Amino acid sequence: MFCPKCGVKNEEQASVCSACSEILKVSNVKEAFDADKAKEQVKKTADDAWSALKSLGLDPVGRLLLTYQELGAVRASGVGIAFGIFFALSFVFLSYTIPAIGMSRYMDGIGGFVKLLIVGFTPFLSLTAACLIGAKVGNGKGDIASKSFISGVSLLPLLITSLISTVIGVGNFEVSLILFTVSICITVMILFNGLTRIEELSDKSASYIVPLMLLGSAWIAKIILTSIFY
């Protein structure tokens, strides 16, 4: 272990530098601290995600900017990723409970589970990438944190609709179709609101960029899925 202050080499388990008495971090202590810190961070992110979900509630479009500001960029990014992970896990759950969606041939073993998980996480990844490109084209002012937050929140309507459709069953296909139509409209409004209020794009730019984002995210998703299954 080298001293960060004077550069002298010390024993790996040394607590202070033999040359300048600088306090050194012992490697195993640091690892234990990092593990504890990671657990605490996961808990904080889960709490933030739950608080954001309650904050957005029945008004995910109107409260999008306020929720982002309350969280701050770093925490908002974690919330967006958490929503993306939850969407992926829900997709896996639905794949196992509803064979009719056509994913049964990918469900064998751990490998099948991992593939389904990647498929479920693909919409978040593709939307985030499309949001990055779209904001760049429109000279947006946000960073990667805002893009992941917008993408994660935009998936919530589809996620909730999927879970409701599972509960009401395939016999209520018409109701599910109506719910999915409404959820897609809300997703589009979330994306538009995110670009105009968080990324500070003009309404005119966002009007063109949002549909291009959806097309772009579908293309990115196709590339990812093709690389996995073919």
Confidence of residue 172 (pLDDT cuts 50, 70, 90): confident
Cβ atoms of 127 and 210 closer than 8 Å? no
How high is the pLDDT of residue 151? 94
* pLDDT tens, position by position, 76-124: 999 999 999 999 988 888 777 765 555 556 566 777 778 888 888 988 9
How high is the pLDDT of residue 99? 59
Residue 200's nearest CA partner among 208, 192, 211 is: 192
How high is the pLDDT of residue 229? 66
Q: What is the mean pLDDT of the chain?
A: 83
Question: For the CA atoms of 175, 179, 185, 188, what is the dihedral angle to 10 degrees?
Answer: -140
How high is the pLDDT of residue 148? 93
User: Does the structure show a pLDDT above 70 at 135?
Assistant: yes
Confidence of residue 28 (pLDDT cuts 50, 70, 90): very low
Cβ atoms of 138 and 206 closer than 8 Å? yes
Least confident of 103-112, 172-181, 201-210: 103-112
**Domain map of the chain by residue range?**
27-229
User: Does the structure show a pLDDT above 70 at 7?
Assistant: no
Alpha-helical (H) ranges within the chain are 27-56, 64-71, 73-97, 109-137, 144-154, 156-168, 173-193, 203-229
How high is the pLDDT of residue 106? 59
pTM above 0.95, yes or no: no
Cβ atoms of 22 and 43 closer than 8 Å? no
Average pLDDT over residues 184-204: 93
Long-range contacts of 27-34 (CB under 8 A, 24+ apart): 27/1
Q: Give 32 or 1, the one with higher predicted confidence.
A: 1
Q: Give 30 or 152, the one with higher predicted confidence.
A: 152
Specify the 3-state DSSP secondary structure of 136: helix
How does 117-135 read in b/e, with b if 16+ C-beta sit within 10 Å? bbbbbbbbbbbbbbbbbbb
